[in-house]
């Protein structure tokens, strides 16, 4: 199954390249998303080795989880192509689920349903009739836990990219580092101020400044599920570097100190899954 998953990823990537090959930005975007899929697979492999729930699972189940992680962005390439051609916005998670349901051996609810909701708020998975109608509670738990693995691995890969690859900052912050303007970008919008101290991921619609986007990335920690994911972020020195990026770019000293204290307290009190 995993070999077929790699083949499908390459096929979707090449199809996208054929459409956007004359545009340097969209070609680079497609290249990055292929690389991202591999990075998420790597983070997923770490979680699979360390998450308690996955220990002693049979080899075919582990391969299924690895496949779901690798293919989490399988329709990101269709999303890129659609936007390039007509500025059409596509939900790549939903599109990915629809694609995989039509493709044996990926038409397994433990693969496509977690992929459908990997980029949504987790409440959307719980509210989905396809999830609610799973009568086998063991199967339902597997869907949920696999979704957790994908979501955590996705966050690890993206956070690691942010702190180590400034050349792709425009994907996360909307501008390159040299374009940063402290007067405008170091401020925190009113809506973000309200959500920054809540245990929620900050609404993307509220993001206006560079500093807003820093806080949005840090708010992902409220949605990380496994202690192993936190441990891996620490191992990669991702968390400390992400906090430093925020501290270096926030122009509101009082807010900065309050938020840093809040984040430290949250991390000591949050109970992550084993």
Q: What pLDDT score was predicted for residue 175?
A: 78
Are residue 253 and residue 193 in the same domain, yes or no? yes
Q: What pLDDT score was predicted for residue 187?
A: 95
Are residue 193 and residue 247 in the same domain, yes or no? yes
Final residue before a domain boundary, out of 154, 174, 206? 154
Q: Does residue 225 sit within a domain?
A: yes
Final residue before a domain boundary, out of 154, 178, 202? 154
Q: What pLDDT score was predicted for residue 184?
A: 83
Q: Does residue 178 sit within a domain?
A: yes
Tell me phi and psi for residue 226, to 5 degrees. Answer: -105, 140
Are residue 37 and residue 171 in the same domain, yes or no? no
Identify the domain containing residue 99 by its residue range: 2-154
**What does the buried/exposed string (b/e) look like for 240-265 if buried means 16 or more CB atoms within 10 Å of the residue's CB?**
ebbbebbeebbeeeebbeebeeebee
> Hey, what are 185's tokens?
């970008």
CB within 8 Å of 105: residues ≥ 6 apart: 1, 4
Q: Does residue 86 sit within a domain?
A: yes
Strand, coil or helix: what is 57? coil
Are residue 74 and residue 150 in the same domain, yes or no? yes
Are residue 141 and residue 13 in the same domain, yes or no? yes
Mean pLDDT, the chain, integer: 95
Are residue 24 and residue 132 in the same domain, yes or no? yes
Cα–Cα distance between 266 and 221 in angstroms, integer?
Answer: 9
Q: Does residue 160 sit within a domain?
A: no
Final residue before a domain boundary, out of 154, 174, 208? 154
Q: What pLDDT score was predicted for residue 156?
A: 97
- Our count of domains for the chain comes to 2
Residues of the chain with pLDDT under 50: none
> Hey, what are 189's tokens?
């919008």
The answer to whether 130 and 95 have CB atoms below 8 angstroms apart is: no
Are residue 125 and residue 174 in the same domain, yes or no? no
Q: Does residue 80 sit within a domain?
A: yes
Cα–Cα distance between 156 and 154 in angstroms, integer?
Answer: 6
CA 73 to chain centre: 10
Q: What pLDDT score was predicted for residue 177?
A: 79
Are residue 144 and residue 175 in the same domain, yes or no? no
Are residue 139 and residue 231 in the same domain, yes or no? no
Please count the other Cβ atoms lying within 10 Å of the Cβ belonging to residue 98. Answer: 13
Are residue 70 and residue 147 in the same domain, yes or no? yes
Q: Does residue 274 sit within a domain?
A: no
Q: Does residue 171 sit within a domain?
A: yes
Return the residue matching tokens 């909307």: 174
Are residue 107 and residue 56 in the same domain, yes or no? yes
Are residue 47 and residue 107 in the same domain, yes or no? yes
Q: Does residue 159 sit within a domain?
A: no
> Hey, what are 173's tokens?
């912050």
Dmax over CA atoms of the chain, in Å, equals 55
């Amino acid at each position: 199954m995993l070999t077929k998953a790699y083949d499908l990823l390459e096929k979707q990537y090449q199809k996208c390249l054929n459409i956007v090959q004359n545009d340097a930005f969209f070609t680079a975007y497609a290249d990055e998303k292929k690389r991202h899929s591999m990075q998420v697979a790597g983070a997923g492999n770490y979680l699979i080795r360390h998450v308690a729930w996955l220990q002693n699972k049979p080899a075919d189940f582990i391969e299924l989880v690895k496949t779901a992680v690798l293919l989490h962005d399988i329709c990101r390439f269709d999303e890129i192509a659609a936007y390039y051609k007509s500025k059409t916005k596509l939900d790549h998670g939903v599109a990915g689920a629809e694609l995989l349901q039509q493709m044996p051996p990926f038409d397994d609810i433990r693969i496509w349903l977690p992929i459908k909701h990997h980029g949504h708020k987790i409440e959307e998975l719980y509210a989905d009739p396809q999830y609610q109608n799973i009568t086998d509670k063991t199967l339902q738990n597997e869907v949920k836990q696999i979704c957790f693995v994908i979501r955590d691995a996705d966050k690890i890969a993206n956070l690691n990219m942010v702190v180590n690859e400034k050349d792709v900052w425009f994907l996360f912050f909307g501008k390159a580092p040299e374009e940063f303007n402290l007067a405008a970008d170091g401020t925190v919008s009113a809506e973000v101020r309200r959500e920054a101290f809540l245990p929620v991921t900050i609404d993307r619609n509220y993001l206006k400044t560079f500093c807003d986007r820093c806080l949005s990335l840090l708010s992902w920690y409220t949605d990380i599920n496994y202690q192993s994911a936190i441990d891996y972020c620490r191992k990669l020195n991702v968390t400390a570097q992400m906090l430093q990026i925020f501290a270096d770019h926030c122009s509101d000293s009082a807010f900065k100190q309050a938020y840093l204290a809040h984040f430290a307290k949250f991390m000591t009190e949050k109970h992550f899954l084993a």
